[in-house]
Chain A
Amino acid sequence: MDIMADITHKCNMTCKNCYIPNRDVPDMDLEKFRDFLSRLKGRCMIRIVGAEPTMNPRCNEYIEAVFEFGHRCILLTNGLRLSHKSYVDKMHDTGLRHVYLSLNGVDNDDWYEAIDELRCAEKKISALRHLKKRKFILDTGTIIVPEVNEYAPGALLELFDKENINNVLMRIKNVGQLGRYQTDVDDNVKLNQLVRLCSEQMGVSEDYINSFRDQKLYGMYTEKNSILFPLREGNKILNRGRWVKITNWDTDNESGIPDPNSQRRGRITENFTVAPLYEHIKINEGGY
């Protein structure tokens, strides 16, 4: 199971698309988190997330706790603090090897300003370089906003060519209408359009991308709203070489959440139980 741990609601950015924009919630209690980890059955993937998890001054201790109890861990971050080499080293020292870095603007400050309200391309690239140097397994996340960054898939490839980043999972998604968001359902880029954009800009056909629909993700799950594929045909090792995961975060359905009834993703609640991720976010919009 994949569990999101919102270890803080603080953030150092004010992105226009943020599913938990409430900053008034206290940081997660570390001891209760440890107790929670000890009660989990089996080995889980714990996603250390926020708002911005590195805003929690004890972020490294939460990660160390995940490993202490035998679980897997990924840090989901905007990367501002990872622009400092010493911070990346500190994360590496915890045993962390897997980082998800948001790159909504790729290397384009105009895109960052339009989506994330901060011209931060230089810091993002600095974070990328430090992560590459320490050989982190890298996922990147890019939200496609209509009429802003529709050329982001191609720009990502250009950036990774320039930075010699050859092992990466690029997560391309549309805007999710949860919390704070800048694109309504009617104006959103739809899944088929995401496929087209990736096809046009990444050198693979739409047929190739669509051939991966309904295939089991990570050998375990099928998700109707996601397509995961390697850019190099025949590659079987995820994150080795360049991979793409296209995800539909649109809430254009009766439930009003992305991926309704998903059994895969959970979220730690304020009471340290696990709730279905999107359902819990929706119920707590504006709160936890």
Chain B
Amino acid sequence: MSRTRDAIKKIAIERLDIKLTDEIIDSGQAFKDIGVDSLDAIELVVSVEDELDIELSDERLDGIENIKQLADYLVEFD
């Protein structure tokens, strides 16, 4: 169980209407290939920060292009 992964899945379904599974997250598909466009991506990031009451580092977010990279970064907040 990972609270950060759970948060990603919850926000994806509630805010983006996208059902994410661990398999989809771990597949490393680009945001756009799973229906997450750039506007969704920022909403996901902001909502994760809100939900977990954390602040993500801009530098660490640089270059993140898929959910797996985001989930891997979030592990340190578990």
Contacts and interface: CB of A to CB of B under 8 A. Distances in A.
Contacts of B31: 219
B58 interface: yes
A194 to B, nearest CB: 22
Contacts, number: 54
A236 B64 contact: yes
A190 B37 CA distance: 30
A137 B41 CA distance: 11
B22 interface: no
Of the four ranges (under 10, 10 to 19, 20 to 34, 35 or more), the interface on chain B belongs to 20 to 34
Nearest to A166: B58
A238 B61 CA distance: 11
Contact of A72 (B39, B46, B47, B50): B39
B43 A236 contact: no
Interface in A69-115: 70, 72, 97-98
A98 B15 CA distance: 12
B42 A219 contact: no
Contacts of A45: 39
B42 A43 contact: no
A238 B42 contact: yes
Nearest to A230: B62
A167 to B, nearest CB: 8
Contact of A238 (B38, B49, B63, B64): B38
Contacts of B39: 45, 72, 98, 218, 238-239
Contact of B38 (A43, A70, A166, A237): A237
B19 to A, nearest CB: 13
Nearest to A169: B42
A236 B62 contact: yes
A232 interface: yes
B58 A137 contact: no
A97 to B, nearest CB: 6
Contact of A234 (B37, B38, B50, B63): B63
Contact of B41 (A70, A97, A232, A237): A237
B62 A234 contact: yes
Contact of B42 (A137, A166, A220): A137
B40 to A, nearest CB: 8
B14 to A, nearest CB: 10
A135 interface: yes
10 contacts: A43-B17, A72-B39, A72-B43, A97-B43, A218-B39, A220-B32, A237-B38, A237-B42, A240-B42, A240-B61
